[in-house]
Structure 1
Amino acid sequence: MKYWLKLVRIKNLMMMILIFVLIKFSILEQLPFQTNLNTGNYLLLSFSIIFIMAAGYVLNDVCDLETDKINRNKSLIVGDKISVKKAKIFYVLLSCFGLLLGLLFSYRLNRPFYFIFFLIPFLLLITYSKVLKYKFLIGNLIVGFLLFISIYYFNVFELYPIQNTSFQFEKIESENRITALAIFAFLLTLLREIAKDAEDIPGDIVSKSSSLPIKLGLQKTNTVLVFLTSITLIFVIIFIYKISSNYLKVYLVLGVIFPLLYFAISINKNNKPSDYTKSTKQLKLIMFIGILSILFF
């Protein structure tokens, strides 16, 4: 069972579930008006996204079998702990279930065209795993975009349909908070994906990847990471400036600003692929801390 859970990146999925729970109870449930989705539809939306993303992780491992034999030989799952055939069947089951939930969600809202919102991440994940993953920066942007829309969809389905409300200020403020969270997740994911590419250089060379670290080298990759970290810092500082909660300001300064500054300084010491393992873990922790800031919203 543990290998199946590792295959779908259970830690990443649990983080996504945490985001969806926090959005529901720390943002939407705190509003003085009823949002668009009932609990059942909210769960359908959430778990459709979860299953589609889980399927994407499985497909990614199936397509990356040869490179993972080099990059993750000791922790190889597909082809070692789980056969390729079983992994493919698992991918089909997860995809079908995720799309079925999305179809049911669209049907319950009497909006059949909403199904396109679930086809988009499904098709993007296929294109990413089979074609775009090893393209210069494009694959990194797609992964970040997928996490962005996974969060932003709660604006699309929960808040945007509500037009006539006397609590317009509260509605817009909540929309902005969800959008800010989605942008933060996009930026941290982009940083982490580039750092992971630097970590995976040995196997990516074999697969003839055009990833940013291979094309630019580690020194210039570090410069790009510092640049993107600076953009993230500016975004978080602007967000801190606009919020009124002093507790949230202190939390973000200590939990996000300082760690990002440390990351920007320490990344320049990395000069070989194995050095980036620690960097990717740092970014994942910063993202987790940033997500928990919803509790102070």
Structure 2
Amino acid sequence: MEILKLIRWKNLLMIALTQYLIKYAFFEPFGVNITLNLFGFSLLVLATLCIAAGGYVINDIYDVETDLINKPDQVIVGKTISEQAANNLFIAFNVIGVGIGFYLSHLVGKSAFFATFIIVSGLLYVYASYLKPMPLIGNLVISAMVALSIIIVGLFELIPAITPGNQETQLTFFTILWDYALFAFILNLLREMIKDIEDIDGDHKAGMNTLPIAIGRERAKKIAFAVSFIPLGGAIYYLINYLYGNMVAVVYFLVAIIAPMLYIVIKIFMAETKKEFHFISNMIKLVMLLGMLSLIIYKYSLLD
């Protein structure tokens, strides 16, 4: 059970759900040409989850000092799981993830895609060991990794199946997937900024130099407040320009995405305590999940 907590099983479940939704709720209902069967796609999901799990493990290894201050009841490394065991898990997850990535890259005839798994694995280590304490840079890197977990489905499913006859359709679906990845990137960046404000005390004592430490808590909150308008504006723009003619899509976006984002914007403006910022962080994660679930409604939208 402690290992499941260490690898953030709930976050991994969300990644897997998102990737399966892309394939079975977004690609297949429209008859898009795809590359992998269920077994091959499940291997892609497994590879993604293994590398993500490795990232969570190495992050906790390097975060023990700050976590003892910010969330002492949730510290696992050094308490219920030794640092050596955690390092072994990190290595094992990455070996499995990169190994599956090597197999899949050759399976789809795109051996260069193998580099994606190597780069992500390396970046997650560099993030935990070096980039995380730096203002914004660490936030941008980890948010890019979140976006890549969406884009990688298009890389392995759509790109290898492109032919002269279906190129326009394949690229259209890849573009929509890119929009979702950008939405996830911005939301996760906002969440990382909020978490840095929430954890400012522990991070400061650990000698980190996150954005709220570098420029002050209030200035960081103002920047997060400004950033929160980007996903809100993006959702409104998407609704007006692509989904406005379909009532199901309109209602879903208004209720499940735009309304919660408006609430988040207001809460960021008013937030003062650690508890309030923690609540905002969880709300952003919920909006990310609801945003991914919107893939289900596309078969009812104007795309068909």
TM-score above 0.5: yes
Q: Which residue in 2 is equivalent to 1:89? A: 88
Whole-angstrom CA distance in 2 between matches of 1:199 and 1:3? 24
Q: 2:4 — aligned with what?
A: 5
2:112 counterpart of 1:100: no
Structure 1 gap ranges (5+): none
Greater shift in the superposed pair: 137-146 or 252-261: 252-261
Q: Is the 8 A contact 2:40 2:104 kept in 1?
A: yes
Aligned 8 A contact 1:149 1:182 in 2: yes
What does residue range 117-156 of structure 1 map to in structure 2 within 5 Å? 117-156=116-155
Aligned ranges 1:112-261 → 2 under 5 Å: 112-164=111-163, 166-167=165-166, 170-244=169-243, 245-261=246-262
Q: Check if 1:271 corresponds to 2:272.
A: yes
Q: Normalization by structure 1: what TM-score? A: 0.94
Q: 1:150 to 1:41 in 2, by over 3 A?
A: same
Structure-2 change in CA distance of 1:285 and 1:33 (3 Å): closer
Does structure 1 conserve the Cα–Cα contact (< 8 Å) formed by 2:154 and 2:174? yes
Task: State the Cα deviation string for residues 113-169 of structure 1 (Å, max 9, x = none).
Answer: 221011111011011000000101001001110011111112222222333254555
The answer (yes or no) to whether the contact 2:134–2:210 under 8 Å persists in 1 is yes
Report Cα offsets for 1:169-221 as digits up to 9, x if no partner: 54343222211211111111111111111111111112221111112222222
- Using the aligned pairs only, state the percent identity: 32
Structure-1 residue corresponding to 2:301: none
SS of aligned partner of 2:134: coil
Who is 1:262 aligned against? Answer: 263
How far apart are residue 107 of structure 1 and its match?
2.8
Say yes or no: does 1:290 pair with 2:291: yes
- Equivalent residues, number: 296
- 1:218–1:271 Cα contact (<8 Å) kept: no
Give the root-mean-square deviation of aligned CA atoms. 1.6
Bigger CA drift: 77-86 or 48-57? 77-86
Match of 1:243, SS state, is helix
Question: Cα distance 1:252–1:121, how it changes in 2: closer, same or farther (>3 A)?
Answer: same
